[in-house]
Amino acid sequence: MNPKELLYAKSHEWVRIEGDEAVVGITHFAQEQLGDLTFVELPQPGDQAQAGKEIGSVESVKAASEIYSPVSGEVVAVNSELENAPELINKEPFGAGWMFRIKLSAKPQGLLDADAYAELCAAEAH
Protein backbone atom coordinates (compact mmCIF):
# COMPACT_ATOMS: atom_id res chain seq x y z
CA MET A 1 0.00 0.00 0.00
CA ASN A 2 2.63 2.56 1.09
CA PRO A 3 5.44 2.57 -1.50
CA LYS A 4 8.71 1.36 0.00
CA GLU A 5 10.85 3.96 -1.73
CA LEU A 6 9.07 6.87 -0.04
CA LEU A 7 9.56 8.49 3.35
CA TYR A 8 6.64 9.48 5.55
CA ALA A 9 5.81 12.19 8.09
CA LYS A 10 3.74 11.49 11.20
CA SER A 11 1.32 14.14 9.93
CA HIS A 12 0.61 11.87 6.92
CA GLU A 13 2.61 13.48 4.14
CA TRP A 14 4.92 11.42 1.93
CA VAL A 15 8.27 12.51 0.49
CA ARG A 16 10.14 11.25 -2.55
CA ILE A 17 13.77 12.36 -2.56
CA GLU A 18 15.12 13.07 -6.03
CA GLY A 19 18.69 14.30 -5.75
CA ASP A 20 18.60 17.62 -3.92
CA GLU A 21 14.86 17.97 -4.41
CA ALA A 22 11.86 16.38 -2.74
CA VAL A 23 8.36 15.75 -4.04
CA VAL A 24 5.60 15.89 -1.42
CA GLY A 25 2.01 14.66 -1.25
CA ILE A 26 -0.43 13.22 1.27
CA THR A 27 -0.75 9.50 1.84
CA HIS A 28 -3.44 7.06 0.88
CA PHE A 29 -4.38 6.77 4.55
CA ALA A 30 -4.78 10.54 4.85
CA GLN A 31 -6.98 10.89 1.77
CA GLU A 32 -9.11 7.99 2.94
CA GLN A 33 -9.65 9.60 6.34
CA LEU A 34 -10.63 12.92 4.77
CA GLY A 35 -12.93 11.49 2.11
CA ASP A 36 -13.57 13.03 -1.30
CA LEU A 37 -11.41 16.12 -1.48
CA THR A 38 -13.02 19.28 -2.78
CA PHE A 39 -10.26 21.85 -2.47
CA VAL A 40 -6.50 22.04 -2.12
CA GLU A 41 -4.58 25.11 -1.02
CA LEU A 42 -1.00 24.91 -2.25
CA PRO A 43 2.06 27.06 -1.61
CA GLN A 44 3.50 29.15 -4.42
CA PRO A 45 6.83 28.57 -6.12
CA GLY A 46 9.39 30.64 -4.27
CA ASP A 47 7.80 30.10 -0.83
CA GLN A 48 10.14 28.89 1.88
CA ALA A 49 9.06 25.64 3.48
CA GLN A 50 10.10 24.70 6.96
CA ALA A 51 9.93 21.13 8.16
CA GLY A 52 6.94 20.65 10.49
CA LYS A 53 5.35 23.99 9.58
CA GLU A 54 2.02 24.51 7.83
CA ILE A 55 2.32 24.98 4.11
CA GLY A 56 -1.16 24.36 2.72
CA SER A 57 -4.45 22.68 3.41
CA VAL A 58 -6.93 20.20 2.01
CA GLU A 59 -10.68 20.19 2.38
CA SER A 60 -13.41 17.64 1.95
CA VAL A 61 -17.11 18.12 2.50
CA LYS A 62 -16.95 17.32 6.20
CA ALA A 63 -13.34 17.92 7.14
CA ALA A 64 -10.39 20.21 6.68
CA SER A 65 -6.79 19.46 7.38
CA GLU A 66 -3.55 21.41 7.34
CA ILE A 67 -0.61 20.16 5.30
CA TYR A 68 2.74 20.34 7.09
CA SER A 69 5.89 20.42 5.08
CA PRO A 70 7.90 17.31 5.94
CA VAL A 71 11.15 18.94 4.73
CA SER A 72 12.79 22.36 4.62
CA GLY A 73 13.70 24.31 1.50
CA GLU A 74 12.30 26.41 -1.32
CA VAL A 75 9.15 25.45 -3.20
CA VAL A 76 10.19 25.10 -6.85
CA ALA A 77 7.01 23.66 -8.38
CA VAL A 78 3.42 22.91 -7.45
CA ASN A 79 0.91 20.56 -9.02
CA SER A 80 -1.48 23.17 -10.38
CA GLU A 81 -3.76 20.49 -11.83
CA LEU A 82 -5.04 19.91 -8.31
CA GLU A 83 -6.73 23.31 -8.34
CA ASN A 84 -9.35 22.04 -10.76
CA ALA A 85 -9.11 18.36 -9.96
CA PRO A 86 -8.52 17.76 -6.23
CA GLU A 87 -9.93 14.26 -6.77
CA LEU A 88 -6.54 13.31 -8.22
CA ILE A 89 -5.36 13.05 -4.63
CA ASN A 90 -8.09 10.53 -3.87
CA LYS A 91 -7.40 8.56 -7.03
CA GLU A 92 -3.61 8.55 -7.03
CA PRO A 93 -2.28 9.96 -3.79
CA PHE A 94 1.26 8.75 -4.50
CA GLY A 95 1.24 9.62 -8.19
CA ALA A 96 -0.78 12.22 -10.07
CA GLY A 97 -1.92 13.60 -6.72
CA TRP A 98 1.55 14.92 -5.78
CA MET A 99 1.36 18.45 -4.35
CA PHE A 100 4.65 20.33 -4.51
CA ARG A 101 8.38 20.00 -5.11
CA ILE A 102 10.98 21.46 -2.79
CA LYS A 103 14.67 22.22 -3.31
CA LEU A 104 16.11 20.93 -0.07
CA SER A 105 18.01 23.29 2.17
CA ALA A 106 18.71 20.65 4.80
CA LYS A 107 18.80 16.91 5.05
CA PRO A 108 15.32 15.54 5.87
CA GLN A 109 15.01 14.45 9.48
CA GLY A 110 12.64 12.44 11.62
CA LEU A 111 10.78 10.79 8.74
CA LEU A 112 9.47 7.23 8.84
CA ASP A 113 9.98 4.38 6.42
CA ALA A 114 7.00 2.56 4.91
CA ASP A 115 6.82 -0.10 7.61
CA ALA A 116 6.99 2.32 10.51
CA TYR A 117 4.37 4.49 8.86
CA ALA A 118 2.06 1.50 8.35
CA GLU A 119 2.30 0.81 12.07
CA LEU A 120 1.38 4.40 12.85
CA CYS A 121 -1.67 4.18 10.60
CA ALA A 122 -2.76 0.91 12.16
CA ALA A 123 -2.58 2.53 15.59
CA GLU A 124 -4.50 5.62 14.49
CA ALA A 125 -7.22 3.64 12.78
CA HIS A 126 -8.30 2.34 16.18
Partner 1 sequence: MKTLFQDSSKGRTGVWPKEPKGNTEADIPAYLLRDTAPKLPELSEIDVIRHFTRLSRLNYSVDSNFYPLGSCTMKYNPKFTEAVAAQPGFTNLHPLIPQLKGAGHMTQGALEVLYETEQLLGEITGMSAFTLQPMAGAHGELTGVMLMAAYHNDKGNRKTKIIVPDSAHGTNPASAAIAGYDVVSIQSKNGMIDPDELEKVLDDEVAGLMMTCPNTLGLFECGLERIVKLVHGVDGLLYYDGANLNAIMGKMRVGDVGFDVVHLNLHKTFATPHGGGGPGSGPVGVSQRLVDYLPISRVVKLEDGQYYLNYDYPKSIGYIAPFYGNFGVILKAYAYILRLGREGIVRATENAVLAANYLRKRIEEHLEIPHDRICMHEFVASAAKQAEKGVRALDIAKALLDKGHYAPTIYFPLIVKECLMFEPTETESKETLDGFVDDLIEILGRVETDPQSIHDAPVTTPVQRLDEVRAARSMELVDDAGL
Partner 2 sequence: MPFIPHTPEEQREMLAAIGVDSIEALFEDIPAKFRAGDLNLPSGLSEMEVRQKLEKTAARNHTDLTSFLGAGFYDHYIPSAVDALCSRGEFYTAYTPYQAEASQGMLQAIFEYQTAVARLMDLEYANASLYDGGTALYEAIMMAVRHTRRSRIVISESVNPIYRVMLDSYTTNLKLDLVTVPHKDCNTDMDALLAALNDDTAAVIVQNPNFFGTVQDFTALFDKAREHKIVSVISTYPVMQSILKTPGRMGADIAVAEGQSLGLPLSFGGPYLGIMACNKQLIRQMPGRIAGRTVDKNGKTGFVLTLQAREQHIRREKATSNICSNQALCALRALMYMSLLGPQGLKKTAQVGIERAHYAANRLERLPGVRVVNQPFGNEFTVKLPVRAYEVIDKLLDMKFVPGFPLGRYYQGMDNHLLVACTEKTTKQCIGILAELIGGAL
* Footprint of partner 2 (CB under 8 A): 38-39, 41, 59-64, 66
Residue 109 contacts by C-beta under 8 Å, 6 or more apart in sequence? 51
Around Cβ 57, how many Cβ atoms within 10 Å?
Answer: 13
Tell me which residues touch partner 1 (CB under 8 A).
36, 38-39, 59-62, 86-87
Q: How far is the CB of 58 from partner 2 (least distance, A)?
A: 9
CB nearer partner 1, residue 21 or residue 59: 59
Bridge-based pairing of strands 73-78 and 64-68 is unpaired
122 makes contact, choosing from partner 2, partner 1, none, with CB < 5 to 8 Å by partner type, with: none
